[in-house]
Amino acid sequence: MTSAVESIEAPDVPVLDEAGRALLFTEARTGNAFADTPVSDEQLAAIWELTRWAPTSANLQPLRVTFVRTPEGKERLLPLMSEGNRVKTASAPVTAILAVDSRFHEHAPTLLPIRPQMRDALEADEATRSAMAQVNGPLQAGYFILAIRAQGLVAGPMAGFDAAAIDAEFFPDGRWKSLLVINIGHPGENPWFDRLPRLDPADVIRWA
Ligand SMILES: Cc1cc2nc3c(=O)[nH]c(=O)nc-3n(C[C@H](O)[C@H](O)[C@H](O)COP(=O)(O)O)c2cc1C
């Protein structure tokens, strides 16, 4: 006699191979100098196409992206980066400004149709809204970095920029708030800094 539990077939979830793990994690590096090789709008669209499937709380997806890829756009952005980030940002064919939409909850009826009342609940609760943005914006930014790598490109994330100045220049209506700026491209000359150590698992992991 087979029990109900035994008769449930677990779906086969594939495992990423070594080459995929190396591309996304173990061999991937942060880019500090970029080649002239262009990055197409199709490649940038493909990065977002991967990013958008990764999970967020209540599926509310607060991250927004501005791809700066024209000389005029770069001219607006460069003076707003920290001095140490300007040369590398100038060398990158594309720089993405990642921002959080402070009114992300307006999309709740579409994104979470089983609980459309989330929109009004979050409209009335600024603290929860802000806490959700604080968790899910950076989470989606992390997914975005991995998606850049999955696309065969190099990411150079930077927190060193004048956030208030970027918001005033690129998001003057005040709705989007900048979170992280990321250079995207192919490695140029001397693109990597020395590899820094990672914490030992024993210093990080506890078991319960
Ligand atoms: C959120 C974040 C902010 C960062 N800000 C800067 C920055 O402002 N300037 C810079 O040169 N590197 C910045 N970095 C790059 C990190 O120093 C780099 O990713 C880290 O040392 C790992 O390097 P690796 O991928 O080559 O091992 C930042 C990285 C992250 C993830």
Give the ligand 1 atom nearest the CA of 156.
Answer: 15
Asked if the model's pLDDT at residue 73 lies above 80, the reply is: yes
| Domain locations in the chain as residue ranges | 29-189
Exposed, middle or buried: residue 52 (CB in 10 Å: 0-12, 13-18, 19+)?
middle
Residue nearest to atom 20 of ligand 1 (CA): 30
Mean pLDDT of 171-196: 98
Q: How high is the pLDDT of residue 5?
A: 54
The rounded Cα 103 to chain-centroid distance in angstroms is 18
Structure-token match 């190099």, residue found: 154
Number of DSSP helices (H) and strands (E) in the chain, helices first: 10, 4
User: 85: closest CA among 190, 156, 168, 36?
Assistant: 156
* Contact present, 147 and 120 (Cβ < 8 Å): no
Regarding the domain with residue range 29-189, which homologous superfamily does it belong to in the CATH classification? NADH Oxidase (3.40.109.10)
Q: For 129-141, what is each residue's pLDDT tens digit? A: 999 999 999 999 9
- Phi/psi at 160 (nearest 5 deg)? -85, 85
Count of beta carbons in the 10 Å neighbourhood of residue 178: 22
User: 52: closest CA among 130, 179, 133, 144?
Assistant: 144
H/E element, 98: strand 94-101
When the pLDDT of each residue in the chain is averaged and rounded to a whole number, the result is 96
| Ligand 1 pocket by Cβ (under 6 Å) | 29-30, 85, 157-160, 180, 192, 195-196
Q: For 6-58, what is each residue's pLDDT tens digit? A: 567 778 899 999 999 999 999 999 999 999 999 999 999 999 999 999 999 99
Note the pTM of the prediction, 2 decimals: 0.95
